[in-house]
Amino acid sequence: MTKGWATAALALLALLAVVAGLIVTGGPVQARKERRDAERESDLHSLAQWVFCIARSRADRLPESLDVQAPDCDWQPRRQDPFTSQPYRYELLGPRQFRLCAGFELPPAPRPGPGGRDAAGCLRQEYLPAPAVAP
């Protein structure tokens, strides 16, 4: 009889350990959200590089919107969320600054320095033209 209780107690402890692990890590649902958010963030970074390319091809002028033709920038980054089909948002903030935004599922991870997204799900970017080369 004692052996049966010991086995049951060990099984219960193992079950509690598994449940505690899922609570701490978030389990597979959390991992899927993190993967989808990482893909959205990657898309925004690709879009930012595309916007920089457009600006270089237009005498260092940022586009007013993402609906521009850019023959010099021959790749097409994804412009909408692959999971919700919502378009990514582009906002021109000034002659050298813009934001790209997406609907993220999780709050941003704290990161020191620039380059991370804010609580609204936006990456703020600054375009710095290449320095002029002296002849």
Supply the range of the domain harboring residue 89.
34-126
Residue 122 CA to residue 91 CA, distance in Å, equals 10
Supply the pLDDT for residue 112. 57
Asked if residue 135 belongs to a domain, the reply is no
| Position 105, amino acid | E
Q: What total of structural domains would you count in the chain?
A: 1
Asked if residue 105 belongs to a domain, the reply is yes
Supply the pLDDT for residue 17. 59
* Token reading at 108: 């941003």
**Long-range contacts (CB closer than 8 Å, 24 or more residues apart) made by 61-66:** 61/95, 62/92, 62/95, 62/96, 62/98, 62/127, 63/92, 64/92, 65/90, 65/92, 66/90
Asked if residue 56 belongs to a domain, the reply is yes
Residuewise pLDDT in 10s, the chain (135 residues): 566 776 766 666 666 655 555 555 557 899 999 999 999 999 999 999 999 999 999 999 999 999 988 788 888 899 999 999 999 999 999 999 999 999 999 998 776 556 678 889 999 999 988 776 666
